[in-house]
Structure 1
Amino acid sequence: MGAALRHASYSPIIREMLDYSCAVFDAAGQLVAQGEFIPAQLGAMSLVVQATLRRHGPSIAPGDVFVSNDPYEGGAHTPDVNVIRPVFVARGAPRGGPPALLGWVGTVAHQVDFGGPNPGTEGADNRQVFGEGLILPPVRLATARGPQADLVALIGANVRDPVSTLADLRAQVAACRIGEARLLEIAEHHGPATVRRAFAALLDHAERRTRAALAALPDGEAEAEGFLDDDGAGGPPTRFQARLTKTGDRLTVDLSGSAGQVPGGLNNPWASTRACVAYLVRAVAGSDIPANDGALRPVTIVCPEGSILHPRRPAAVSVRHLTCQRLADTMIRAAARLWPDLPVAGHFVGFFSLMAEGPSPRTGRSVVLQDVVGGGTGAHGPRRLHAQGTAGPGGGPGGMTMPGGDGLDAVDTHMSNVGLLSAEVCELEYPWRLVRSELVPGSAGRGRWSGGLGLRRTYEVLAAAQPVVLYCEQTDQRWRPWGAAGGGDGRPTRLIVRDPAGRRIVVASKATVILEPGSTVTIVTGGGGGYGDPRVAGS
């Protein structure tokens, strides 16, 4: 499914930067299997399928394809568009009766623009979700008779680049068709009843493995706090608190100490918060445990509605990924305090993004550029491995120790997994020049093992004056990537905008600015935190 989506899509953010995900669900909408794509997307997708079942129920039929991006019906933010398809089988149905629902296949892809006042749809300055582009509750994109032409026309009329957006939606539909075909092949070979039993067994297996991993850990409680630079509207820093309590084979993740929902677009919908917790569980319990909804059964999440991590409609959410990154970082820090066998330092979680609209040098039509720039990951100390050979704090008989190591340079971390836009694609597709893209020496925290390096990237505007949406995090010295066990902190993020004469334009970390041709935008991302005493040999 993923390969088909990538090769059939038009937009570089999908085919080059790989901002998409694919998954399989059982008939009730439980996530059974997923590709290793974007954690923030996949952990949320099952809620979209379940919302579709609630809304459409018995009317769901073979050949249906549903589309949804509603952040308050299982979605993340409006540019992440879910396309899902029910899979029906005839075998097992009564003779002459209707086909039986076997399961679902689904894709979610980041559409580079889905309407709204800002190019790229996103913006921390949004005040309500109604200003964040076209919102689609779960509705039919197609039936067995073909596409819903009126809906397709409606979508095309509301986006800046309908050619790319509609092509990318068709690519998502094609990927779902491939997923459906492969699932039907398995059902034909083994029988639908066996497939259903396999779905249930996979969910139960993930639950058992997660419970066993948790049971191997010491009981206890620990907490950590983290901050965003502001509230998305120029207000004060926004606080997160994560308290982890582990008892027996269960884990409670209490996020109730976090800030209330904020006026800007930093609010994190419930589905995305749930996805962050799923990521934490995978990091703690071991990466070889199937990443499905069964792994969350031993976990209780405490997160009151009305908070930044469980906002009420119509709170704005379009840059919720900044919050996802900080939440994941805060929970990992709490886990490292609770279990010393999880020896990690903090990653860069500033997540810089640039979005702009302009004429394509290749086609001449209006297109939307988006680039995402990562930084360094934190170093890690020696880590006990499970007997099965996977990293995790449980250890156990027959396990071994993985040596400590430096962080990775210039990568997207935690809840995201997006690649950099290449200079060649940037300059071929968009009226921008990539002037510089280089690692930043000295940006990481030193330690016995040092953090990964950040990245310096400079873009030059080539087309006529245009609005440019910029946002990033970790610009405040107080919230730098944290070192651990005596290691140093990584450097904060820096955002530098200059006019054509080279004069610096003062901008906030989240801003929309009008830039003339010859203006430049430079982002300098932070490195990861170091781990261990830097005076020890091997630093």
Structure 2
Amino acid sequence: MTANDHRVDTVTFEVAAAALQSAAEEMGNVLKRSSYSPIIRDMDDFSCAVFTADGELVAQADYIPAQLGAMSLVVKAIIERWRARIGDGDAFISNHPYLGAMHLPDVNVITPVFVAGVLVAWAGTAAHHIDVGGVNPGSEGPELEDIFGEGLVLPPVRLAIGGAENEDLIAVITENIRDPRSTISDLRAQRAACALGGERIAELAEMYGMAAVLEVMSRMLDSVELGVRTALLSLPDGTGEAEGHLDDDGRGGVPTRIHVRVAKVGDRLAIDLSGCDQQVAGAMNVPWASTRAGIVYAVRAAVAPELGANDGLLRAVDVEAPRGSVLNPVSPAAVSVRHNTCQRFADTLIRAMAQMWPQTAVGSSTVSFFCCNVGSVSPLTGLPSVMADVVGGGTGATAFGDGLDGVDTYMSNVGVMPTEVVETNYSVRVLKSEFIPGSQGLGEFNGGLGLRREYQIIDVPQRVTFYSEQTHPDFAPKGARGGGDARSTRVTVVGPDGTKVEGLGSKASLTLQPGTVLRVETAGGGGYGNPDDREEFARDHDVRNERL
């Protein structure tokens, strides 16, 4: 389609495109306010988006990049499996890591949007559910060896048929999870969000006509593609290379290598992941959907951060990711802890592009991504409950200023669970939540501070899974342009008698007795520039606020 072929004028295009974006954001508001689980309503571990009829993502609410870059693959898997059997009022559910999804707790609920009996679009949500069954409470475990131990695996199947909830499927889900009230309630909240998205698309069709809305969707994809290509043309051609490491394979093995080569020629970017290690024995493997999401995130961040992120971005990118590698494993390799690897991949890809384009260099952010899942008991009801919490750290400094303190970095964007929520819903006490002075890398601009958080198990023995990265000092966040590296992460378990439990490392699944304390101290961000060039007022601020 050329400019002269457009049926929609520029003003109408901008208004309708903004309306689609607004629809995705409004879906997010519905999901957040309707969900039952703290990980969704308090920590914002969910995403919402609108797709074309053939599954291309056109508008998203910026919640979790790790989810949004993958969701269109789920829509396409639904289309491939169901085709002509897709009906108005249907809702589909899937969490299958090898059919477009990410890991089992991130459950996708996707609904078709029909206008005048014709399938014209899709509305979709992805949300982290606190438990989908499996060996461990929380459905994650670094030590697990295949997806069958990680929980209930759902290919694209119908959660609702013609508007009515699929009672048979709900019964199957209910009998395979630890906290069915939370999970089923959250699935219904996801359906409600999708219904709202469908209503907004139908309203646009009534206002402008369906042909115009379809053209707007197509042009939204084209405009992002053009924006990325234009941005690439403004950057010099060249190559870059970087590598990073995971502490181990999830089972105490040797460090796992993530290696990236990038090359830019004209308006295209090539990304070569063939130097990465092969898939590993534990659950650190990254299914292709999550690797794809990492590429979307890093390219957008380094090349065109001002653009919206839709599937048009990938039209300018070529990727080589051999099957059987840690970034493109073969089923049924375990993937439940894949997000730690995703974070390391994002950092490594950004550093490779910064080697090619030094003006984009930033200090590395923490990729520790400490997470703990606790099979607990609700103090309110006495019923089993599952806690899932994430602790962030410092972001890297940039040429424009210091890094941020205590946030969830890169591809993640969740908040730490409020202490009041932890202690109200679970038999867990939060003893400390504080920044760690001196955890950051120093420079002309300093990295952000890491976080210290302590959880104490109370009342009853509880099954706990925790995992983190960057506990190896050699893998701590790196500085940029002369900036210093940050400190590495530390994870400590202190028994009820006050003595440290030895031999656990940074990842474990075990039962903790009442009185046991789990402590994490996450890495800060890397510094930027020579520390001798830091302004005097900034040095004084660091001293006054005890940041060093």
TM-score, normalising length from structure 2? 0.92
Distance 1:285 1:183 in 2: 30
Distance 1:463 1:372 in 2: 23
The structural deviation recorded for 1:232 is 1.1
235, 242, 251: which one aligns with 1:233: 251
Distance 2:433 2:525 in 1: 18
Superposed, which structure 2 residues align to 1:401-420 within 5 Å?
404-420=400-416
Q: Which residue of the partner structure matches residue 30 of structure 2?
A: 4
The answer to whether 1:258 aligns with 2:288 is: no
Aligned-partner residue type, residue 302 of structure 2: V
Aligned-partner residue type, residue 277 of structure 1: I
Aligned-partner residue type, residue 528 of structure 1: G
Aligned-partner residue type, residue 341 of structure 1: Q
73, 81, 93: which one aligns with 1:47: 73
Q: Which residue of the partner structure matches residue 317 of structure 1?
A: 335
Structure 1 unaligned segments of length 5 or more: list them: 91-98, 382-403
Contact 1:358–1:463, Cα closer than 8 Å, also in 2: no
The structural deviation recorded for 1:513 is 2.0
Distance 1:267 1:45 in 2: 18
Structure 2 unaligned segments of length 5 or more: list them: 1-26, 540-548
392, 396, 404: which one aligns with 1:378: 396
The root-mean-square deviation of aligned C-alpha atoms, in Å, is 0.7
The structural deviation recorded for 1:114 is 0.3
Q: How many residues align?
A: 509
Q: Which residue of the partner structure matches residue 24 of structure 1?
A: 50
The structural deviation recorded for 1:145 is 4.8
The structural deviation recorded for 1:288 is 2.2
Q: Which residue of the partner structure matches residue 515 of structure 2?
A: 518
Aligned-partner residue type, residue 59 of structure 1: R
SS in 2 for 1:505: coil
In terms of mean alpha carbon deviation, does 336-345 or 240-249 score higher? 336-345
Contact 1:481–1:490, Cα closer than 8 Å, also in 2: yes
- Superposed CA offset, 1:90-144 (max 9, x none): 1xxxxxxxx1111000000000000001010001111011111000000000011
Runs of 4+ in 1 over 3 A off after TM superposition: none
The answer to whether 1:67 aligns with 2:96 is: no
488, 500, 504: which one aligns with 1:504: 500
Superposed, which structure 2 residues align to 1:464-475 within 5 Å?
464-475=460-471
The structural deviation recorded for 1:463 is 2.6
SS in 2 for 1:324: helix
160, 167, 170: which one aligns with 1:152: 170
Aligned-partner residue type, residue 177 of structure 1: A
Q: Which residue of the partner structure matches residue 526 of structure 2?
A: 529
Distance 1:37 1:417 in 2: 6
Q: Which residue of the partner structure matches residue 299 of structure 2?
A: 281
Contact 2:285–2:341, Cα closer than 8 Å, also in 1: yes
134, 143, 153: which one aligns with 2:152: 134
Contact 2:351–2:361, Cα closer than 8 Å, also in 1: no
SS in 1 for 2:439: coil
The answer to whether 1:161 aligns with 2:182 is: no
Contact 1:85–1:176, Cα closer than 8 Å, also in 2: yes
Identity of aligned residues (%): 54
Superposed, which structure 2 residues align to 1:80-159 within 5 Å?
80-90=106-116, 99-159=117-177
482, 500, 504: which one aligns with 1:486: 482
Distance 1:48 1:521 in 2: 36
Distance 2:525 2:369 in 1: 13
Contact 2:104–2:150, Cα closer than 8 Å, also in 1: yes
The structural deviation recorded for 1:469 is 0.4
Q: Which residue of the partner structure matches residue 438 of structure 1?
A: 434
196, 210, 225: which one aligns with 1:192: 210
Distance 1:211 1:237 in 2: 36
SS in 1 for 2:70: helix
- Superposed CA offset, 1:237-261 (max 9, x none): 0001111100000000111100110
The answer to whether 1:462 aligns with 2:458 is: yes
Contact 2:396–2:525, Cα closer than 8 Å, also in 1: yes
Contact 1:375–1:452, Cα closer than 8 Å, also in 2: yes
Distance 1:59 1:537 in 2: 64
Q: Which residue of the partner structure matches residue 542 of structure 2?
A: none
TM-score, normalising length from structure 1? 0.94
Contact 2:131–2:179, Cα closer than 8 Å, also in 1: yes
- Superposed CA offset, 1:281-331 (max 9, x none): 111222221210001101001101110000000100000001100000000
Contact 1:202–1:290, Cα closer than 8 Å, also in 2: no
Higher helix share: 2
Aligned-partner residue type, residue 421 of structure 1: M
SS in 2 for 1:484: coil
57, 69, 73: which one aligns with 2:83: 57
- Superposed CA offset, 1:32-59 (max 9, x none): 0100010000100000000000000011
The structural deviation recorded for 1:264 is 0.4
- Superposed CA offset, 1:463-520 (max 9, x none): 3112110100000000000011111100000001011111101211110122111110
Q: Which residue of the partner structure matches residue 361 of structure 1?
A: 379
Contact 1:68–1:136, Cα closer than 8 Å, also in 2: yes
The answer to whether 1:79 aligns with 2:105 is: yes
Contact 2:443–2:534, Cα closer than 8 Å, also in 1: no
Contact 2:225–2:313, Cα closer than 8 Å, also in 1: yes
Q: Which residue of the partner structure matches residue 266 of structure 2?
A: 248
Q: Which residue of the partner structure matches residue 325 of structure 2?
A: 307
Contact 2:95–2:153, Cα closer than 8 Å, also in 1: yes
Contact 2:486–2:523, Cα closer than 8 Å, also in 1: yes
Aligned-partner residue type, residue 30 of structure 1: E
SS in 1 for 2:533: coil
Distance 1:430 1:320 in 2: 26
Contact 1:203–1:292, Cα closer than 8 Å, also in 2: yes
